[in-house]
Structure 1
Amino acid sequence: MEQRIGSSSQPLEGAGFDPAFIPGLTSPASRPTEEDEPEQKPEVAETEEAGTASADTAEAAPSEQEEDTEVDGPVFEASDRRARLVADHRGVRLSLDDQECEFRWDEIGAVETETARFGKRYTVTVHTPDRRWYPIEIEAPARSHFKEWDAQLDAVLDAYFEEDAG
């Protein structure tokens, strides 16, 4: 009879060991700087800079305008001393202490709310289509805020969240 010496358990995977396991938790890769780009001939660089400067400005302008301008839609925001939840036209953003994650509306399968039977905890869980869920608990100043928060979150979900009919 053969016996193996050592552990038979497999290495663990998941968010506890790899923060990149959760989409939206880590920041996107930074753009290369001028120092990272290879050297070009001066006359070629000048003509390319003139052509790409207008293209870069045209591409960057809509995203900057989108973030700077206020959208006339519903916004839900709830926070306590540690946790914060924001739902608006861009999606849902969850923050707990120094950890943050952001979900665009097309990355969300469902949003579920739950209130504690006793106490003042308001739990919002974001479900993704790949069967993962991300709950956040926010302590309300009073239990009377639960109905108000449910109504505000429902208004945001009705305005921006589209369920696939099929």
Structure 2
Amino acid sequence: MEQRIGSSSQPLEGAGFDPAYVPGLTSPGSGEAEDAKPADVEAADADEPTVPAEASEEAEEAEEAEETAGEEIPDGPVFEASDRRARIVADHRGVRLSLDDQACEFRWDEIGAVETESPRFGKRFTITVHTPDRRWYPIEIEATSRASFAEWDEQLDAVMDKYFEDESPQTVEEESDL
């Protein structure tokens, strides 16, 4: 007995598979992949030199340095911690988290709380940024030693004391009486 490898059924066509398919009104597809480029676009791309990922990262860092060079950086505490994948920076602009190729930035007025957690065992220090709309964004930084945890806590506390304004209900009531 001979068995075939693979499916013997044909791919589905029509409205059951593609809701936009209307017989007689739409033309059939060209058979090319949707992300295929025309030959003239490919030729134009071949003329442009390719930039390695490291060079593009350096260009982004240079642009960021130019942006910060234009704005006046106040003297104040800065907290920065990173490992091979994750990075956190807290300074006068707010808190910036990045993990691999993903990044997010929170201004100080967008932050409800910042929570730190050091494990009983292990070397992963967790920092969680909470927003007023009850969302939280945790990031874990792997420390070289457990001694870094106390140092990081002190540095982050100094930044929080300087830039984070926690409005207590009493302060808000006093302002509304004025």
TM-score interval w.r.t. the shorter chain?
A: 0.5 to 0.7
* TM-score normalised according to structure 2 size: 0.56
For residues 82-101 of structure 1, the aligned pairs below 5 Å read: 82-101=85-104
Match of 2:137 in 1: 134
Q: Distance in 1 between matches of 2:80 and 2:70?
A: 17
The root-mean-square deviation of aligned C-alpha atoms, in Å, is 1.4
Match of 1:33 in 2: none
Query: Structure 1 residues 65 and 153, CA, compared in 2 at 3 Å: closer, same or farther?
Result: closer
Which blocks of at least 5 consecutive residues in structure 1 are unaligned? 1-63
**Which structure has more RCO (C-alpha within 8 Å, separation ≥ 6)?**
1
Give the secondary structure class of the aligned counterpart of 1:117.
coil
Moved more, 79-88 or 67-76: 67-76
Give the secondary structure class of the aligned counterpart of 2:73.
coil
Query: Structure 1 residues 67 and 93, CA, compared in 2 at 3 Å: closer, same or farther?
Result: farther
Matched letter for residue 85 of structure 1? I
* TM-score normalised according to structure 1 size: 0.60
Figure out how many residues of one structure are paired with residues of the other and give that number: 103
Which blocks of at least 5 consecutive residues in structure 2 are unaligned? 1-66, 170-178
Deviations 1:101-121 (A, max 9, x none): 000000000000001111100
Q: Distance in 1 between matches of 2:131 and 2:86?
A: 20
Deviations 1:71-105 (A, max 9, x none): 20000000000000000000000000000000000
Query: Structure 1 residues 146 and 103, CA, compared in 2 at 3 Å: closer, same or farther?
Result: same
**Alignment partner of 1:144 out of 123, 144, 147:** 147
Alignment partner of 1:160 is 2:166: no
Q: How far off is 1:65 after superposition?
A: 6.8
**Alignment partner of 1:105 out of 100, 104, 108:** 108
Match of 2:33 in 1: none
Matched letter for residue 135 of structure 2? R
Moved more, 64-73 or 121-130: 64-73
Give the secondary structure class of the aligned counterpart of 1:148.
helix
Q: Distance in 2 between matches of 1:67 and 1:163?
A: 29
Matched letter for residue 126 of structure 1? V
Q: Distance in 2 between matches of 1:87 and 1:131?
A: 20
